[in-house]
Amino acid sequence: MPFPMVCRKKAKILTFLLFLVGLTLASYTNNWWPGMLLVVGIPLAIKQHLLGNRYDMSVTLFVFLGGFISISWDIEWQIFLPVLFTIGGIYILYRDLTEHSLPQEDEEESDLNEEIEEEQHKK
């Protein structure tokens, strides 16, 4: 797995900011559905990219953008959307069964170490 570009805290803040911008655009254009697929999917994919989860980002974009396109352009969504969600679910199951990740405490500790290093570089 590639290294994260930013710490989890910064990725979470950027994701929330993008989500709020998406909500603003959706309310301004009055395009709630299927716009919410983009409002949720794009910030989530960017967060995964910033954290170094390239495959997760690809599957997220595939599912959310695929759903948006199928609904927006009147593609046979009765077949297309279940296929998208099934592919996403199979990927998540496969990833969880094969991934040998560190315990949650180690992730939090590494994030704290990264934040400390960033603060030291600012000084």
Per-residue pLDDT tens digits for 47-92: 999 998 888 898 899 889 988 988 888 887 777 778 888 888 898 8
Compute the distance between CA of residue 74 and CA of residue 70 in angstroms, rounded to an integer: 6
Compute the distance between CA of residue 88 and CA of residue 63 in angstroms, rounded to an integer: 7
User: Which pTM was predicted?
Assistant: 0.69
Compute the distance between CA of residue 98 and CA of residue 117 in angstroms, rounded to an integer: 31
Residue 36 pLDDT > 80: yes
- Our separate counts of H helices and E strands in the chain read 5, 0
